Structure 1
Amino acid sequence: MIDPAASSRGDTPRIGDDPRFTELRAAYRRFVFPVTAAFLLWFLAYVLCSAYARDFMATKVVGSINVALVFGLLQFVSTFGIALAYGRFAARRLDPLAAALRSAAASRPIAPAPAPAGRGGDLEVTENQA
């Protein structure tokens, strides 16, 4: 957890140091990386079949509908399916973690910003600023 005494010592905790943030990133990656890899392989198979397996892709399924058309339409179906699955996953797993982090960040005291280097922290008023 975030150390509440850290701001009194001057070393403001970062949200990235919170174990819940690490858990949020890990959960996101466990979903996104495998699904992205699977979709890219599926898309690559479609492209390679279109380029090198022309006889297979030209096979009629029903009437004038061939395998290539079915595979092409399945690309859209899989894209929408992945979007729906991610939406459900995010609502179930990611959003509660993000809400907990957001409330923890909102309840943290805000440390004063450090003075700009070389200015000593005092602001000079010149005639042009008046």
Structure 2
Amino acid sequence: MTPPAERRLLTPEEYRQAQDSPEFTELRRRFRRFAFPMTVAFLAWYLLYVLLSTYAPDFMATPVFGNVNVGILLGLGQFVSTFVITHLYVAHANRRTDPISDEMRERLEHHDYAPSARGTTGGTDLGKGGATRA
């Protein structure tokens, strides 16, 4: 990663080029293919819990052992499922999206998306009047 003192500010054109790149399209696709189904599944699971609590109180009050009933177990299951989803997302991000975003960040830092850098393998020269960030 480029040290902060040596970074040149990116132009709007560079951001647009990065956003229009096939890598960014793939990054969005991979994120959405995980996030949307997982969000729908969790919301359905939460809605089931709320509906059972509202319309099936006798079922939710069914004792499982001691003073623990089905409602308490399903409520605790909400917490467990949150931790499981978080773990799955971190694993997914580490394996499927972070490599692409790391590569894109490197390319942005080297200004590979700059209009003058298109079609080249290197970045632009920072010594030619580029603004730097302190």
Give TM-score, length-normalised by structure 2: 0.71
Instruction: Map 1:1-130 onto structure 2 (within 5 A).
Output: 14-108=17-111
Q: Which has the larger radius of gyration?
A: 1
The one-letter code matched in structure 2 to 1:28 is F
Structure possessing the higher relative contact order (Cα contacts under 8 Å, 6 or more residues apart): 2
- In structure 1, runs of 5+ residues without a counterpart are 1-10, 112-130
Equivalenced residues, count: 101
Give TM-score, length-normalised by structure 1: 0.73
Task: Return the offset for 1:14.
Answer: 2.0
Separation (CA, whole Å) in 2 of partners of 1:108 and 1:83 = 33
Secondary structure of the corresponding residue to residue 61 of structure 1: strand
1:30-81 CA-to-partner distances (Å, cap 9, x unmatched) read: 0000000000000000000000001110100011100000000000000011
Task: Give the RMSD, CA atoms, in angstroms.
Answer: 1.6
1:69-120 CA-to-partner distances (Å, cap 9, x unmatched) read: 0000000000011001101110111110001111111222667xxxxxxxxx
Separation (CA, whole Å) in 2 of partners of 1:45 and 1:76 = 15
